[in-house]
Structure formats: structure tokens, C-alpha cells
Structure 1
Amino acid sequence: MKVGVLGDTHGLLRPEVLLALAGVERILHLGDVGDPVILKSLAKLAPVTAIRGNVDRDGPCGRLPETEVMLLEGHYIYMLHDVQTLHLDPAAAKFAAVLYGHSHKPNIAHRKGVLYFNLGSCGPRRFDLPVTVGLLTVEKDLNPSAEIVHINLL
């Protein structure tokens, strides 16, 4: 299963992001949506699961859950916005992956058999950080793998 992972849109959904997510079977938005229209636009590509970030205070985005657990292809995937607020041991909880955003800095790491994946940010550019989305490949009997996709702005 190919899963599109994005976050920190902050109200901006670039057309290049939609192109990068073409063909995914599911989309996970890791918070700081900024505008509920973004989730509706993404849902035209694939089913969307979203959580709220620190800027999602009001309206429909403010009602999104703080965290989410997905079961994909037999693997538990934990979603939260800011990894610094992680208050559990993902390995002990049997999570295969922890997906997060907030820092806008893309990162892939493995700790105690758990994939930690920050897709970066695909909204307004922050400092000199790249504009990125993530692709997560989830298959039965194989550990999930992550890829950071750099968005070439038109």
C-alpha cells in the first residue's frame, strides 16, 4: 500500500503536492491543516485521515483529533503533530511507525525497531527548509518504509 503523508500545509495546498500524491491509496495529514478545504481537495485523490496541529484551533480543523492510530496492512501507525509531545513508548505499544510534523524538517529514523518519519512541510516555505511530502510504503509482513519527496515548485 502506498500512502501519501503530508502536513504543515498552513492553509496552502500547492498543485505540485497533488501531483506528487497521484496514485496513493490513502493520505495522512499530520496537522497544521489551516483550512478544511485542503482536506476536501485531498479526499478527491484518496481517503484522508487527519489530525490537528497547533494552528488548528477553530472550526472543523480544531475538531480533528490530536493523535490517531491507523492499522494499515497489519501494521499500527501512530500519528501526532509534534514528536516532542509523545508520551508513550512506541516500541512497547507495538507501533511500526510514528509519523509527525511540526518542525518542518524532513527526517527518517529508526529507534528500537520503530520507524520515525517527519515528512517536512508542503505549505508556505519556512526559513530555507525544503518543500516536501512523504510516501510511506506499507506491506504485510514487511516493515514500513518511508521516502521524502522534494517538491519542485513550478
Structure 2
Amino acid sequence: MRIAVLSDTHDLFPANLPGRIRGADEIWHLGDVCEPETLDELEQLGLPLLVVAGNCDAHPWPEMITATRGDLRFHLVHIPPRRVPAGVNVVLHGHTHVPRDDTDPAGVRWLNPGCITRPNRGAPASFAWLTVESDQPLRWELVRL
């Protein structure tokens, strides 16, 4: 399963993004969409779309989602939590506008695709591909725009 992961669109994304993620099995947006209409073009791809609310969102998306894919449990949230929910293998978050791929001492992997439109701290605009396959290590590929 190949999942396109993006965050912090803030009402805008590059015109070529829908074409670049057309081959995804799912799309996960980690918050700060702002206006829901921003997602119209992505919804037209007909792919499952999971969206969590960010601190700039007024739309009633959930604040967090726990999703199981393969043998892994993923926690999707906008602002990185202080504590990892029990049983979660991977935390995906946005908010910082800076890409992240870290593993904590408990073995939980923390991932952030960066920001698609307003990167911070010298990081380029980006999204990521998350690949989940049975009996294979989780793959995270940052795509700079």
C-alpha cells in the first residue's frame, strides 16, 4: 500500500500535486487544510482521504485518527503529542513545517512530511510517500517540490 502524506496546505498546493499522487492507494492530510474546498481536487482523484484538523482549521475534521495498515498502527494528528497512545507504532504529524523521520527509545517512529506551501527553517516544500507492505520494513520517502 502506497500512501501520499501531506500537511499544512494552508489553502494552497502546487498545481501538479494531484498528478504526482494519482498512483496512491490513499491520501493522508495531517491538518491545516484551512478551507475544505482546498481538498476538492484531491477528492476528485477518488482515493480514500483521511484528514485530521489542524490549529488553523475550523472544519470539524477529527483531531486525531488511529489507522491500522498491515501489522502497524498509525496515529495521525496535527500537533505532535507529548505521549504516544498505547499500541501505536508510528506517529504522523504536521504543524512544524519541517520534515521529520525519528525513532524514539520505545521504538515508535515519528514522521512529518513537512509543509507543502510554507516550509520553515530552510526546509523545502515537501510531501511524502509512506509504503506499507507485509513482511517488509516501513518505507518513508520525502518528496521535495
Provide the TM-score with structure 2 as the length reference.
0.89
Partner deviation per Cα, 1:70-119 (whole Å, 9 max, x = no partner): 11123211001111xx14335xx222211001010011111222221010
Give the match for residue 47 of structure 1: 48
Write out aligned runs for 1:20-31 (5 A): 20-31=20-31
Write out aligned runs for 1:20-99 (5 A): 20-45=20-45, 46-57=47-58, 62-83=59-80, 86-90=81-85, 93-99=86-92
Alpha-carbon distance, 1:127 to partner: 6.2
Give the match for residue 137 of structure 1: 131
**Which whole-Å CA distance do the structure 1 matches of 2:119 and 2:109 have between them?**
26
| Aligned Cα root-mean-square deviation (Å) | 1.7
Give the match for residue 97 of structure 2: 104
Q: Which is strand-richer, 1 or 2?
A: 1
Q: Which is helix-richer, 1 or 2?
A: 1
Number of residues paired by the alignment? 143
Q: Name the SS for the 1:95 alignment partner.
A: coil
Where do 5+ consecutive residues of structure 2 fail to align?
Answer: none
Give the match for residue 116 of structure 1: 110
**Which whole-Å CA distance do the structure 1 matches of 2:52 and 2:129 have between them?**
17
Partner deviation per Cα, 1:38-92 (whole Å, 9 max, x = no partner): 22321223210000101002xxxx2001111111123211001111xx14335xx
Provide the TM-score with structure 1 as the length reference.
0.84
Percentage of pairs with the same residue: 31
**Which whole-Å CA distance do the structure 1 matches of 2:129 and 2:116 have between them?**
13
